[in-house]
C-alpha cells in the first residue's frame, strides 16, 4: 500500500498534492486580457502572453513541489465562457466585454447537435502544457450542469435536455483529450451547490461526460469562487447519496474555509474512492502554516484511508496574489510531507 | 491660457452672476504678469459651502515630473493653476488679489500664513485630525452649539428613519431568508450591521419594525437576529445603546473606524445579510487626483491660518502668537477637555477650549499643489486597491479633477467582505453618480459643522464593486423628495 493506484502515468506517493485548476491571475494579466476586449492588443499578442504566463504558473507549481500540476487555466476568462463560446450552437449575444472576467450572455436558440466528435479545441491547451512539464497533469473543465446555468434557452422544453446535450459535447472533447495523452481529467461544478435539488441531474450528466473515456476522473464541487467569494451556502449533505453514482475516481471538495464537519459524510456513506481534500482557503490571503495543513490532513485521515486521500486547495487559486498562491502551495506541500512521514512505509516521489 | 468655468446654475437666470465682471480683472492681471500664459490654467468654481477651505483666489503649482535625465535638452517646467471661487467674486479687488498671489510665488512670506503642517497627502492632512476631533468630542460640540448633530444634516434628520424604506428592506430580506430556509441553507445566526449608527434612532426604528413584521411573518427571525451597531464616536454609541435598550438581547455595539470594519468584525466574514450605512462615506478621508494635459496628478495639501486670523485668535485666548500652533497641536492630540488641564491659563473651562477649537476650525484653509503620479498601479487608493481602478475614469473623461474617496473605498471594500452571498449593502449619502458632475460643480471639501464633507465618488465605488463581483446601483432616496441623498445598493452579481 505504498502508492496511489494510477490508471496511467507515473506512480505518486501517498497524500499526493495537486491543484484544483486555476492559478493566480496577476493584475497586469487581467489588464491585458481586458485590453484585448477593448481592441488595444491583438489576439496573437494575447496568445503569446498566455503562453508565457502558463509556463510561469507551471514553474511555480513545480518549485512548490506539487505532484500533479495544471496549466492554471490562464487562457480562460472565467470558468464558463472559454467553453461555452466553443460549443457549436451556443450563441454569444455580445462578444465584447468591459472587463475580461465578466460572463458572456449566452443563448441556445436551437437544440445542440449531439455528435460526440465535436472538437472544442481544449486539446491544444493540453498539448502545450504537456510540452512544458514532466510532471503529471490534471486537466479541468467546467461540467455541463454549471455551463447550463449560464445559458438562456427556449430550445428545450425540459432544461435537463440542455444539460445532457452539453454533456455530449464535453464527452466528445474528453475523448479527444485522452487521445492526445491526457490521463487525469476533472469536471468542475461550481454552480451545483446553488441548486442542491438538482444534484441527480448533475450526476447523470457527469456520467455522460465520463462515459467510455478511459481517464482518471475527478469531480470538483465547491460553494463557488467567483471574485474570491462563496456564491452559495450550505453543506455537502445534498451531494449524498446521489454522488455515489458518479463515475469518477475522486471527489474534490472545499473544506478549509468552511471547516471539516462534512467529513462525517464519508463515515455515513460508502464512498470508497479518493477524496481531494481542500486544505487551504483560497478566499483568504492569510497563509496557512504547514502545521495547520498537517492538522487538517490528520483529521481527514480519521475517516479516509491515506491511500484514498489527495491534498489540494479548496478551489482554484486565481484570485490570490501570486506570492500568496506560492506560499500557500509551499505550506500545503510541507504539511502533506509532514503527515506522510508519520505514515508507515511512506514512499517518496519517483 | 486655458480658462475653465464650471457651468454652475448661477451663470443663468434672474440674478445671474456677471461672469465678465469677475473674469476681466483677473485675466487683465494675469496678462500683465510676465508668467508664461501657455502654462496657465484658470479654473472657476462656485463653492456652494459657505464654510470651506478656500480663498477667493488660490494659486496651485502643477509640478513637473522629476527628470530621469537631468541633462535633458528640454526639461518640462512647472505649470500653474489659478482657482477662483465665483461665489465670492464680489469680496474684493480681484486684480489686486491676483497680483498679490502671483508676486508671492517668489516671496512666500508675503502670503502671511501660519502653516499647521508641511505639504501632505490629502488623506493625511491635519484637517482630518479636526474631523476626527469632532466625532470624538461631539458631545462637547453639541453642548457648546446647543444643536444636536443630526439637526445639521440636510433636512434636519437622517434619511435613515423612514418607515416605508425600512419595511421594504426588511420584507426583501425575509424573502431571501425564506428561500434559504427552504433549502436548509439559512444560518442559525442572522447578522445585520449598521456603520455610523449615530444616536441610534435608525437602529431603534429598524428593530421595532423588524420585530413587528417578524411577528406577522411568523418565522421567528427576530429570535435569531443579531444587530451590530458600530460608530467611531463613543458618545453617540452610548446614546444609541440607550435608544435600543428594548432590544438589548439582540444588539451589540462596537466603537469602530468605518474605514476598517474587518479589524473588529472579521468573525462576520461572509455572514452579514444587511449592512446599513448612512451619512458616513462623505465624511471619511479623501484626496483628489487630477488629469491635467494628459498627465495624472494627486493634489497635496498644506493647512494654514492667515496671519490675521492667527493674531486675532491668539489675542482672544491670551496665547503668544508663536505658541498658537503648539496650542492647536495640543487641542488635536488631547481634545478640548484635557486642553483645560494642559493650558489652564488660556482655557479656564471646556466651553472656552471648545470656542478656541471652533475659531481655529472656522479660520482653517488649505493650500494645494499638484504632484505628478508615476504609475497608477503604484498609487494605493486603499489597502488592497491600487490606482489602476481610477484608469477608466481618467482615460474616458479627459482633463478632470475628482475625489478619490479613499476612506469610503476602504470602508466599502472591507465591508463587502462581510456580506453573505445573499447579503446586501445599502448606503445613503451624497454621491456623485455621473463623472460628468466633476465638470459641472464643486463637490468638496466643505465644512459641515465641525466635520468635513466631500461628495463621494460613486462611479469609482461602482467600478471597484464590479471588480469584486457586486452590482452597485444608485437611485435617488426613494422615500423623501427634495433631498440630495442618493441610495447605493450593492449586491452580488452573477
Interface of B with A in 451-490 (CB under 8 A): 466-470
Q: Give the whole-angstrom CA distance, residue A139 versus residue A182.
A: 7
Asked if residue B365 lies in contact with residue B306, where contact means CB atoms within 8 angstroms, the answer is yes
* Structural Rg of chain B based on CA atoms: 25
Q: Determine the distance in angstroms separating the CA of B397 from the nearest CA of chain A, rounded to an integer.
A: 16
Q: Determine the distance in angstroms separating the CA of B180 from the nearest CA of chain A, rounded to an integer.
A: 9
Does the pLDDT at position A1 exceed 60? no
Does the pLDDT at position A164 exceed 70? yes
According to DSSP, the β-strands at B57-62 and B79-85 are antiparallel
Q: Determine the distance in angstroms separating the CA of B421 from the nearest CA of chain A, rounded to an integer.
A: 5
Contacts of residue B414, Cβ cutoff 8 Å, sequence gap at least 6: B259, B260, B261, B262, B383
Residue of B nearest to A320 (CA): B384
- Residue B469 is nearest to which of A196, A229, A234, comparing CB atoms? A229
Low-confidence stretches of chain B (pLDDT beneath 70): 67-76, 150-161, 479-482
Say yes or no for a CB contact (<8 Å) between A231 and B494: yes
Does the pLDDT at position A2 exceed 70? no
Element (H, E) at B252: strand B251-255
Q: What is the pLDDT of residue B155?
A: 47
Q: Give the whole-angstrom CA distance, residue B445 versus residue B405.
A: 11
Mutation to test the A interface, candidates B469, B471, B472, B493, most A Cβ within 10 Å = B469
Q: What is the pLDDT of residue B158?
A: 53
Say yes or no for a CB contact (<8 Å) between B421 and A230: yes
Q: What is the pLDDT of residue B71?
A: 61
Q: What is the pLDDT of residue B294?
A: 87
Which residues of B fall within a CB distance of 8 Å from A229? 270, 421, 468-469, 492
- Residue B185 is nearest to which of A224, A228, A234, comparing CB atoms? A234
Say yes or no for a CB contact (<8 Å) between B187 and A233: yes
Give the CA angle between residues B341, B342, B346 to the nearest 5°: 90
Q: What is the pLDDT of residue A114?
A: 72
Q: Determine the distance in angstroms separating the CA of B468 from the nearest CA of chain A, rounded to an integer.
A: 5
Mutation to test the B interface, candidates A26, A80, A227, most B Cβ within 10 Å = A227
- pLDDT cut 70: percent of chain A above it: 94
Q: What is the pLDDT of residue B101?
A: 92
Q: What is the pLDDT of residue B288?
A: 97
Which residues of B fall within a CB distance of 8 Å from A233? 180, 185, 187, 420-422
- Residue B184 is nearest to which of A31, A99, A234, comparing CB atoms? A234
State how far the alpha carbon of A284 is from the alpha carbons of A225, A323, A325, B262, in Å: 11, 13, 10, 13
Which residues of B fall within a CB distance of 8 Å from A230? 270, 421
Say yes or no for a CB contact (<8 Å) between A99 and B183: no
One-character DSSP codes across B105-166? TS-GGGG-EEESSSSEEGGGSTHHHHHHHHHHTHHHHHHHHT--GGGGSGGGS-TT--HHHH
Contacts of residue B70, Cβ cutoff 8 Å, sequence gap at least 6: none
Q: Give the whole-angstrom CA distance, residue A178 versus residue A137.
A: 12
Say yes or no for a CB contact (<8 Å) between A230 and B270: yes
Which residues of B fall within a CB distance of 8 Å from A147? none
Average pLDDT of chain A is 93
Say yes or no for a CB contact (<8 Å) between A27 and B466: no
Residues A71-123 have pLDDT tens digits of 999 999 999 999 999 999 999 999 999 899 999 999 999 999 876 556 899 99
Residues A283-326 have pLDDT tens digits of 999 999 999 999 999 999 999 999 999 999 999 999 999 999 99
Is B271 an 8 Å CB contact of chain A?
A: no
User: Can you give the pTM of this predicted structure?
Assistant: 0.91
Which residues of B fall within a CB distance of 8 Å from A227? 467-470
Which residues of A fall within a CB distance of 8 Å from B421? 224, 229-233
Q: What is the pLDDT of residue A9?
A: 53
According to DSSP, the β-strands at A274-278 and A216-221 are unpaired
What ipTM describes this predicted complex? Answer: 0.84
Give the A-side interface with B, CB within 8 Å: 27, 31, 99, 103, 196-197, 224, 226-235, 237
- Residue A232 is nearest to which of B377, B421, B466, comparing CB atoms? B421
Q: What is the pLDDT of residue B164?
A: 86
Amino acid at each position: 500500500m505504498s502508492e496511489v493506484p494510477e490508471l496511467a502515468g507515473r506512480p505518486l506517493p501517498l497524500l499526493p498534492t495537486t491543484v484544483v485548476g486555476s492559478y493566480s491571475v496577476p493584475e497586469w494579466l487581467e489588464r491585458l486580457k481586458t485590453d484585448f476586449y477593448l481592441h488595444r492588443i491583438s489576439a496573437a499578442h494575447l496568445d503569446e502572453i498566455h503562453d508565457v504566463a502558463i509556463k510561469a504558473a507551471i514553474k511555480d507549481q513545480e518549485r512548490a513541489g506539487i505532484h500533479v500540476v495544471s496549466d492554471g487555466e490562464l487562457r480562460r476568462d472565467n470558468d464558463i465562457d472559454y467553453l461555452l463560446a466553443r460549443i457549436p450552437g451556443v450563441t454569444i449575444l455580445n462578444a465584447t466585454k468591459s472587463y475580461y472576467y465578466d460572463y458572456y450572455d449566452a443563448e441556445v436558440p436551437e437544440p445542440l447537435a449531439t455528435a460526440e466528435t465535436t472538437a472544442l479545441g481544449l486539446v491544444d491547451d493540453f498539448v502545450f502544457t504537456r510540452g512544458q512539464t514532466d510532471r503529471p497533469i490534471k486537466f479541468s473543465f467546467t461540467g455541463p450542469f454549471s455551463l447550463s446555468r449560464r445559458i438562456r434557452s427556449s430550445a428545450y422544453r425540459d432544461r435537463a435536455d440542455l444539460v445532457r446535450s452539453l454533456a455530449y459535447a464535453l464527452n466528445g472533447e474528453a475523448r479527444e483529450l485522452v487521445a492526445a495523452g491526457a490521463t487525469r481529467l476533472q469536471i468542475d461544478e461550481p454552480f451545483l451547490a446553488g441548486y442542491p435539488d438538482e444534484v441527480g441531474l448533475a450526476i447523470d450528466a457527469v456520467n455522460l461526460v465520463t462515459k467510455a473515456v478511459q481517464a482518471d476522473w475527478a469531480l470538483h464541487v465547491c460553494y463557488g469562487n467567483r471574485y474570491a467569494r462563496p456564491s452559495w451556502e450550505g453543506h455537502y449533505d445534498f451531494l449524498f447519496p446521489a454522488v455515489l453514482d458518479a463515475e469518477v475516481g475522486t471527489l474534490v471538495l472545499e473544506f478549509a474555509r468552511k471547516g471539516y464537519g462534512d467529513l462525517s459524510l464519508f463515515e455515513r456513506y460508502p464512498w470508497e474512492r479518493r477524496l481531494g481534500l481542500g486544505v487551504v482557503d483560497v478566499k483568504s490571503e492569510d497563509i496557512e502554516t504547514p502545521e495547520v495543513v498537517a492538522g487538517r490532513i490528520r483529521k481527514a485521515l480519521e475517516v479516509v484511508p491515506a491511500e484514498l486521500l489527495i491534498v489540494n486547495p479548496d478551489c482554484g487559486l486565481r484570485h490570490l496574489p501570486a506570492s500568496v498562491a506560492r506560499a500557500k502551495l509551499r505550506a500545503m506541500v510541507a504539511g502533506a510531507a509532514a503527515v506522510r512521514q508519520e505514515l508507515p512505509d511512506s514512499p517518496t516521489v519517483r | 491660457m486655458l480658462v475653465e468655468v464650471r457651468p454652475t446654475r448661477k451663470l443663468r437666470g434672474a440674478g445671474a452672476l456677471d461672469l465678465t465682471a469677475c473674469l476681466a480683472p483677473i485675466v487683465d492681471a494675469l496678462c500683465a504678469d510676465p508668467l508664461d500664459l501657455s502654462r496657465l490654467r484658470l479654473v472657476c468654481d462656485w463653492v456652494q459651502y459657505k464654510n470651506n477651505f478656500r480663498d477667493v483666489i488660490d494659486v496651485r503649482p502643477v509640478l513637473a515630473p522629476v527628470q530621469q535625465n537631468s541633462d535633458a535638452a528640454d526639461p518640462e517646467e512647472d505649470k500653474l493653476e489659478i482657482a477662483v471661487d465665483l461665489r465670492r467674486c464680489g469680496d474684493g479687488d480681484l486684480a489686486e488679489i491676483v497680483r498679490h498671489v502671483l508676486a508671492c510665488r517668489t516671496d512666500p512670506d508675503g502670503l502671511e500664513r501660519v502653516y499647521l503642517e508641511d505639504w501632505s497627502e490629502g488623506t493625511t492632512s491635519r484637517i482630518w485630525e479636526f474631523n476626527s476631533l469632532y466625532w470624538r468630542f461631539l458631545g462637547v460640540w453639541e453642548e457648546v452649539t446647543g444643536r444636536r448633530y443630526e439637526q445639521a444634516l440636510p433636512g434636519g434628520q437622517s434619511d435613515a428613519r423612514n418607515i416605508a424604506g425600512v419595511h421594504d428592506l426588511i420584507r426583501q430580506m425575509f424573502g431571501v431568508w425564506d428561500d434559504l430556509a427552504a433549502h436548509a441553507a439559512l444560518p442559525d445566526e442572522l447578522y445585520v450591521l449598521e456603520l455610523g449608527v449615530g444616536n441610534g434612532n435608525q437602529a431603534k426604528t429598524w428593530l421595532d419594525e423588524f420585530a413587528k413584521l417578524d411577528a406577522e411573518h411568523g418565522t421567528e427571525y427576530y429570535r435569531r437576529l443579531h444587530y451590530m451597531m458600530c460608530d467611531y464616536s463613543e458618545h453617540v454609541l452610548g446614546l444609541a445603546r440607550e435608544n435600543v435598550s428594548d432590544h438589548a438581547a439582540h444588539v451589540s455595539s462596537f466603537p469602530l473606524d468605518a474605514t476598517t470594519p474587518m479589524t473588529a468584525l472579521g468573525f462576520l466574514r461572509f455572514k452579514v445579510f444587511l449592512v446599513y450605512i448612512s451619512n458616513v462615506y462623505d465624511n471619511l478621508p479623501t484626496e483628489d487626483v487630477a488629469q491635467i494635459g494628459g498627465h495624472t496628478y494627486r493634489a497635496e495639501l498644506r493647512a494654514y491660518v492667515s496671519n490675521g486670523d492667527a493674531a486675532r485668535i491668539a489675542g482672544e485666548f491670551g496665547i503668544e502668537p508663536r505658541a498658537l500652533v503648539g496650542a492647536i497641536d495640543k487641542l488635536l492630540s488631547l481634545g478640548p477637555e484635557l486642553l483645560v488641564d494642559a493650558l489652564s491659563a488660556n482655557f479656564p473651562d471646556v466651553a472656552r477650549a471648545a470656542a478656541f477649537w471652533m475659531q481655529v476650525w472656522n479660520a482653517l484653509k488649505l493650500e494645494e499643489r499638484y504632484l505628478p503620479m508615476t504609475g497608477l498601479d503604484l498609487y494605493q487608493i486603499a489597502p488592497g486597491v491600487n490606482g489602476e481602478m481610477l484608469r477608466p475614469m481618467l482615460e474616458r473623461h479627459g482633463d478632470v479633477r475628482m475625489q478619490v474617496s479613499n476612506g469610503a473605498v476602504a470602508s466599502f471594500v472591507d465591508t463587502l467582505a462581510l456580506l453573505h452571498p445573499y447579503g446586501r449593502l445599502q448606503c445613503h449619502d451624497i454621491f456623485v453618480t455621473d463623472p460628468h458632475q466633476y465638470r459641472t460643480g464643486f463637490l468638496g471639501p466643505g465644512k459641515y459643522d465641525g466635520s468635513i464633507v466631500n461628495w463621494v465618488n460613486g462611479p469609482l465605488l461602482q467600478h471597484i464593486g464590479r471588480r469584486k463581483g457586486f452590482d452597485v446601483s444608485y437611485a435617488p432616496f426613494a422615500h423623501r423628495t427634495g433631498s440630495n441623498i442618493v441610495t447605493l445598493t450593492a449586491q452580488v452579481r452573477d
